[in-house]
Chain A
Amino acid sequence: MYGRSFWIYLGRRLGLAVITLIGAIVAVFVMTHVLPGNPALVKAGVYSTPEVLRALEHEMGLDRPLPEQLALYVVHAFQGDLGVSTRSGHPVAADLVQRLPATAELAVYSLLLAVLIGVPLGVLAAVREGGWFDRVVQQVAILGASAPLFWLGVMLIFVFYVQLGIAPAPVGRLDTGVEAPPQITGLYTVDAVLALNGTALASAAGHLLLPVLTLGFVIMAPLIKMSRASMSSILSADFIQAAYSFGLPHRTVVWGDGLKNAMMGLLTVVGIVLGYVMAGNVIVEALFAWPGIGLYAWNGITGRDYDAVQGFVLLVAATYVLVNLVIDVLYMLIDPRVRLG
């Protein structure tokens, strides 16, 4: 179906992703093994005897030459072996997999909120470029880009939980006493609907409200900016003038031809924003005691559980590389200019 150049491009892009991934693993290795600090000492505790320390160093492979350690580390990482968490005693990979759905639920709703509100706002602002609506939307975008995530969360807690009492206490995914719906997707809201469990649905939705608002508002800013900018340049393009000259109504031109072409850039921004969501999750999950991978990483940092932190950082980097790969491939499929260019 596609020509040779398509497969060459795809192959190169895949190779690049693998190289980047290996590089990311090496970067994490450098961060933890070359920078000062002895992981064995951390694991054994300050009061361990030299013998215990040496035995542990041997067990962790820290007495081998650095290149050998590095090679082992990369191989293990690709096999999904991310070490053992000193806090939970479980393999880090298992811990992360178990906590992933909580983070995914938060990320999905935040992204949905940001896209569903941010993109129409940006498009409408571009259509009325220079007008009062455009100016208000731009101020909202710049405020969103300037607001510290953690402060916004704290203020939302104050207003909606402490003052108004609309939101539940900012702790966890469900009210105490409410049982989690049987796990199908791991997203409590979806599982509750599938199990026809109204109590769990209401409780899960309530607990999602503030963290999603916090994260959603902040990531809305780049989405508004992008959709406004690309829509504004599309609207002055020749094919839009052509569409008008054929007598198509304004609405069809803007939301049909215009939006379809402006959305080409949306994928890229969603990729960037997803990276922001994954990093911002540490803050939001720590603030709302949300039992996802961000909170896991934060507990790992404060508890000096290095394997857990490394595992989290690697998972995020891998996801980021993978998402960008998928986005690039999607562009190739959607836009012939990329694969033929």
Chain B
Amino acid sequence: MGSLPARDPRIYVGGGILLALIALALIGPHFTSDPLMPDPESILQPPSSAELLGTDNYGRSVLARVVGGAQLDLLIALFAAVLAFVVGSLVGGFTGFAGGFVDDVMMRLVDILQSFPAFLLALGVAAMLGNEIRNVVLAIAVAYCPYFVRIVRGEMLAARVTPYALAARAVGNPPTRVMLYHLLPNCLGPSIVQLTLCLGYSILDAAGLSFLGIGIRPPTAEWGVLVAEGTQYVNSGQWWIAGFPGLAILLAVLCFNLLGDRLREAVRA
């Protein structure tokens, strides 16, 4: 870890937000009301002591919906980012280790996928697959997979010619075993940094897709859906319906960016 300060505020702030979000997602729903329960008696109420974050046009509690969204958004991000990480790292490790023709073809494929901006690729895939949680996860994973392939492949190119790689081969390990057990774990550092950042991007993209109506469908409590639902009420001054869910997205992405930034320096040092 070199000369990096041990008490880095990024770890405390980022880690603190992350822990708070996880706690909110796990136990929060037990303390809030039903995020789907309308209440005709209290429609469009501003934040107050009874309803901390106010209510929406159906009288649903914004707090309950933001808390409900935490669970869904964090899970979508986790599945999408981990899927991209696992598939991308395996493919990248394999192609970098194989080299030659396989590597050339794979890298052209990666070039092609990266000729689409990531959000656009996710948008295209999600639009064609249809509005389902599973498809949103898949679309985002497809969009970010090429980044992992590229990163791990680069590491693998350097690792496969190291003395320890030769030594592992020399004592009789088959190539696949050397690649998977000896080299790949040593190639994952930068890829794990990318995974952390990718968790944040996934939240942004999942919410962005839902905001456009291509992701999660209302009335499900998802942060992007909540901002979309609240947008039309902003014109009449009810800012809290869109405001708080967006703030939740901002905080969640912020914590992954802080942790990712710090991790990057740690991996480089």
A283 touches B129 (CB 8 A): no
Q: How far is the CB of B146 from chain A (nearest CB, A)?
A: 11
Q: How far is the CB of B233 from chain A (nearest CB, A)?
A: 10
A316 touches B250 (CB 8 A): no
The secondary structure that dominates the A interface is helix
A309 within 8 A of B: yes
Contacts of B261 in A (CB 8 A): 142
Q: How far is the CA of A149 from the CA of B128 in the complex (A)?
A: 23
A327 within 8 A of B: no
B208 touches A313 (CB 8 A): no
Closest to A298 in B: B212
Within 8 A of B (CB), among A309-331: 309, 313, 316-317, 320-321
A147 within 8 A of B: yes
B208 touches A162 (CB 8 A): no
A187 within 8 A of B: no
Do A151 and B249 contact each other (CB < 8 Å), given the known contacts A143-B254, A283-B212? yes
B253 touches A146 (CB 8 A): yes
Per-position 1/0 for A274-289, Cβ under 8 A of B: 0110111011001100
Contacts of B257 in A (CB 8 A): 142, 145-146
A121 within 8 A of B: no
Per-position 1/0 for B109-148, Cβ under 8 A of A: 1011101111110011101111000000000000000000
A28 within 8 A of B: yes
Within 8 A of B (CB), among A16-45: 16, 19-21, 23-24, 26-28, 31-32, 35-37
Q: How far is the CB of B72 from chain A (nearest CB, A)?
A: 16
Q: Which single member of B113, B117, B214, B230 contacts A27 (CB below 8 Å)?
A: B113
Per-position 1/0 for A136-162, Cβ under 8 A of B: 000000110111111110110110011
Do A23 and B254 contact each other (CB < 8 Å), given the known contacts A32-B128, A154-B242, A313-B116? no
Contacts of B190 in A (CB 8 A): none
A31 touches B128 (CB 8 A): yes
B250 touches A148 (CB 8 A): yes
Do A142 and B231 contact each other (CB < 8 Å), given the known contacts A23-B108, A283-B208, A317-B116? no
A23 touches B111 (CB 8 A): yes
Per-position 1/0 for B193-218, Cβ under 8 A of A: 00000001000100110011110000
Do A162 and B237 contact each other (CB < 8 Å), given the known contacts A16-B111, A147-B250? yes
B21 within 8 A of A: no
Q: How far is the CB of B88 from chain A (nearest CB, A)?
A: 17
A116 within 8 A of B: no
B246 within 8 A of A: yes
A79 within 8 A of B: no
Q: How far is the CB of B7 from chain A (nearest CB, A)?
A: 15
A150 touches B211 (CB 8 A): yes
Q: Which single member of A23, A37, A142, A162 contacts B128 (CB below 8 Å)?
A: A37
Closest to A280 in B: B119
Contacts of A317 in B (CB 8 A): 115-116, 120
Q: How far is the CA of A317 from the CA of B257 in the complex (A)?
A: 27
Do A148 and B258 contact each other (CB < 8 Å), given the known contacts A162-B237, A320-B115? no
B207 touches A148 (CB 8 A): yes
Q: How far is the CB of A169 from chain B (nearest CB, A)?
A: 8
B227 within 8 A of A: yes
B254 touches A148 (CB 8 A): no
Residue in B127, B213, B224, B258 whose Cβ sees the most chain A Cβ within 10 Å: B127
B167 within 8 A of A: no
A184 within 8 A of B: no
Q: How far is the CA of A227 from the CA of B156 in the complex (A)?
A: 29
Within 8 A of B (CB), among A257-310: 275-276, 278-280, 282-283, 286-287, 298, 301-302, 309
Contacts of B253 in A (CB 8 A): 145-148
Q: How far is the CA of A150 from the CA of B223 in the complex (A)?
A: 11
Closest to A159 in B: B239
Closest CB pairs A-B (n = 4):
A151-B246, A23-B112, A275-B117, A279-B117
Residues of A within 8 A of B (CB): 16, 19-21, 23-24, 26-28, 31-32, 35-37, 142-143, 145-152, 154-155, 157-158, 161-162, 275-276, 278-280, 282-283, 286-287, 298, 301-302, 309, 313, 316-317, 320-321
17 contacts between A and B (CB under 8 A): A24-B112, A27-B113, A31-B124, A36-B129, A148-B227, A148-B246, A150-B227, A154-B230, A162-B235, A278-B117, A279-B117, A279-B119, A280-B119, A286-B212, A301-B213, A316-B120, A320-B116
